[in-house]
Amino acid sequence: MGFFDTLKSVANMVTGGSATVALEVVPETGRTFKVQIKATAAADLKIEKVYLKVEGHETVKVKMKKEPTAQEREENFSETTYSQETDVAPGLEMKKDESRTWESSFSIPNDAPPTYQGKLARHEWRVYAALSVTGTDPASEWKVVTIK
């Protein structure tokens, strides 16, 4: 491996650029969703596991004044209301330009809050897939799902 290959390998490890990860989410029944994860390696890659992360996330807008004469401003406060990480596949190795696909599913508990959008608050559900590797895990974009 030459100097530039080593430099690129280190850059991929730091940025998560060692693979691209795509996620497709399809609603099934109730609060259950099917997922398809597709990864393509940009370099030879040793993967510890493939995993799925699901989060419920609430954001509240509050109008605040520090002093009675101060101008009012909006502050956003966020809280993770639910978090689940599920292993989809065990460790494996991928060669450069190799693609793999995995299928899985996840369910949101019945007692978890639904998706909502109010004037001052919202609650959303989101999911992403990632490959656990040394350095920064290559991951898909967050996908927002609606929970009723």
pLDDT at 1: 52
Residues with pLDDT less than 70, the chain: 1-17
Architecture of the domain whose range is 3-145: Sandwich (2.60)
Identity (one letter) of the amino acid at 47?
A: I
In the chain, where are the structural domains located?
3-145
Cα dihedral sign, 42-45-48-50: positive
Identity (one letter) of the amino acid at 60?
A: V
pLDDT tens digits along 36-56: 999 999 999 999 999 999 999
Q: What is the pTM of this model?
A: 0.80
pLDDT at 67: 79
Burial class of 50 by CB neighbour count within 10 A (0 to 12, 13 to 18, 19+): buried
